[in-house]
Amino acid sequence: MAKNKNNQAIWGIRIKDNTSNLFQKIGSSIDIDKRLYKEDIAVSIAHVEMLFKQKIITFKIKNKIIYGLNKIEKEISKNKLEFNKKYEDIHMNIEKRLFQIIGDEAGYVHTARSRNDQVIADFKIWIKSANKEIKSKLNSLIKTSLKLAEKNIYTIMPGFTHLKNAQAISFAHYLMAYIEMFNRDKKRFNNNLDNLNENPLGVAALTGTSFNIDRYYTTKKLGFNKPTNNSIDTVSDRDFVLDFLYSVSVCSMHISRIAEELIIWNSDAYNLINLSDKVVTGSSIMPQKKNPDLLEFLRGKSGSTYGNLFSMLTILKGLPLSYFKDLQDDKEIVFKSYDTLIGCLKIFEEVIKNLRPNKDQMLKLANNGYITATDLADYLVKNHSLSFRKAYQKTVGIVNLAEKKKKNLNELSLNEMKKIIPGLKGDVLKVFDLKNSVNSKRSYGGTSFDNIKKMIMKYKKLND
């Protein structure tokens, strides 16, 4: 084994001149990938345990290396290890430190592996726990949203299409729509686990190795499901990174849509929700202002998560097999997206906790825009044996009449309506009652109070 002088890069024996200082500074990834230190040490420990089991290294060397690695983990967690940019990344910094602690026997740790498989093993494990963390934040957000929904089952508001009053809904049903999105986000992160659970360790630089390693052993030790199939694909594959970035993008897009909606509802024009002082900010010049800055922050952040997804797609575009330095940027991109999303999920939960519906205004707005017209058409189908198209036409007549008389539908008298639809019975008036309208939508997934209660129960159980 070549002697390793500790003040130089591992490849310092081959590459005589020092790499450009400028590149060492700019090209080094240690400031970013130090976040992988725990995973890197776990991977190295599993690796040397396997090497020992396969009789590739001795019991003594294995123990020495594990002792050193555990010591390094403690040092890093206590912020006591000073990283050196000269050693590029977390893997080489740890290996260098291992040499300092246990001496030349550290040289056995890199038998039958390369940084190419090492870094992906670390990264997959990291993304798996990031997935877990995101799902737990989503669960917490779902719980908080459920609480607000539960309090607002009977809060009536207009449902919009084209931002115009469409039909009456319960505010809880609205909130439950968000929950559907967040639940799908959880599923999306779960769906990514299949690829994340394939163990890259042991494919070495790109060919596999001539050592008699046992990849099933490290697979089990590291919590993967199976080893990857093709060594060349393994070191160049970053699909699992794209999956993660895409899932983050979709989740942040959901938050952005909801944020935009709540900004509109919070505007003075709509005034459908109140935000407590905790989640608004003031203006430097206009003393009266309470601005929904947190929501605007959330709306904007999807811009950076999409950007991160596109950065990675662009890095991968046209990149031949197998490993290239280009790939090193994957960590920074993923960490940025993860940090952004976690921040957004926390902030959004805070907004939901500090949001109150303005029930009077919701009801008032729901009384505008002939919002029960569809209910009247449905009534005519059911009680006057009309086809829906015919009933629609008759209802247009009633709406036009109301518009002419500057009245709401429920302000028209039965006699006035009879001029357009002779034979109309008195019980038609109940279709203009908003609560009745909401509660009549009993089809599965509709806004009836019973349906909402059932969905709330379902998600409460799911989220237990």
We find the least distance from the C-beta atom of residue 33 to ligand ARG, in angstroms, to be 6
Strands 156-161 and 164-170: antiparallel
- Pick the stretch among 113-121, 181-189, 332-340, 409-417 that binds ligand ARG (CB under 6 A): 113-121
- Pick the stretch among 58-66, 194-202, 320-328, 428-436 that binds ligand ARG (CB under 6 A): 320-328
- Of 265 and 323, the one with the shorter C-beta distance to ligand ARG is 323
- Of 214 and 233, the one with the shorter C-beta distance to ligand ARG is 233
We find the least distance from the C-beta atom of residue 193 to ligand ARG, in angstroms, to be 22
3-state secondary structure of 226: strand
Reference 380, options 11, 372, 342; nearest CA is: 372
The one among 108, 306, 323, 338 contacting ligand ARG by CB under 6 A: 323
We find the least distance from the C-beta atom of residue 89 to ligand ARG, in angstroms, to be 4
Distance in angstroms (rounded) separating the CA atoms of residues 447 and 438:
6
What is the 8-class DSSP label of residue 57? S
The one among 29, 131, 228, 247 contacting ligand ARG by CB under 6 A: 29
- Of 127 and 327, the one with the shorter C-beta distance to ligand ARG is 327
Question: Does 256 sit behind a cis peptide bond, omega within 30 degrees of 0 on the bond before it?
Answer: no
44 is a site residue for ligand ARG (CB under 6 A): no
231 is a site residue for ligand ARG (CB under 6 A): no
Q: Residue 436 corresponds to which tokens in the numbers above?
A: 């009745």
119 is a site residue for ligand ARG (CB under 6 A): yes
Q: Burial, 387: exposed, middle or buried (Cβ in 10 Å; 0-12, 13-18, 19+)?
A: exposed
Q: Residue 105 corresponds to which tokens in the numbers above?
A: 């026997």
**Cα 353 versus chain centre, distance:** 20
28 is a site residue for ligand ARG (CB under 6 A): no
- Pick the stretch among 55-63, 111-119, 238-246, 300-308 that binds ligand ARG (CB under 6 A): 111-119
116 is a site residue for ligand ARG (CB under 6 A): yes
373 is a site residue for ligand ARG (CB under 6 A): no
Distance in angstroms (rounded) separating the CA atoms of residues 350 and 343:
11
Number of chain positions touching ligand ARG (CB under 6 A):
8
Q: Which is the catalytic residue, given 162, 284, 385, 413?
A: 162
Buried b (16+ CB within 10 A) or exposed e, 5-23: eeeebbebeeeeeeeeeee
3-state secondary structure of 273: strand
Helical segments of 103-238, H only = 115-151, 171-191, 193-196, 215-221, 231-236
Distance in angstroms (rounded) separating the CA atoms of residues 453 and 146:
10
- Of 308 and 451, the one with the shorter C-beta distance to ligand ARG is 308
Q: Burial, 53: exposed, middle or buried (Cβ in 10 Å; 0-12, 13-18, 19+)?
A: middle
We find the least distance from the C-beta atom of residue 162 to ligand ARG, in angstroms, to be 48
110 is a site residue for ligand ARG (CB under 6 A): no
- Pick the stretch among 114-122, 215-223, 332-340, 366-374 that binds ligand ARG (CB under 6 A): 114-122
Contact positions with ligand ARG (CB under 6 A) in 382-441: none
115 is a site residue for ligand ARG (CB under 6 A): yes
Segment holding 198, helix H or strand E: strand 198-199
89 is a site residue for ligand ARG (CB under 6 A): yes
Active site residue 283: yes
Q: Residue 156 corresponds to which tokens in the numbers above?
A: 């009536």
Residues 6+ apart with CB under 8 A from 68: 97, 98, 101, 102, 106
Binding mask 257-296 for ligand ARG (x = CB under 6 A): ----------------------------------------
Reference 209, options 30, 71, 54; nearest CA is: 54
- Of 150 and 329, the one with the shorter C-beta distance to ligand ARG is 329
Instruction: Note the residues at the interface with ligand ARG (CB under 6 A).
Output: 29, 89, 115-116, 119, 323, 327-328
Q: Which residues belong to the active site?
A: 162, 283
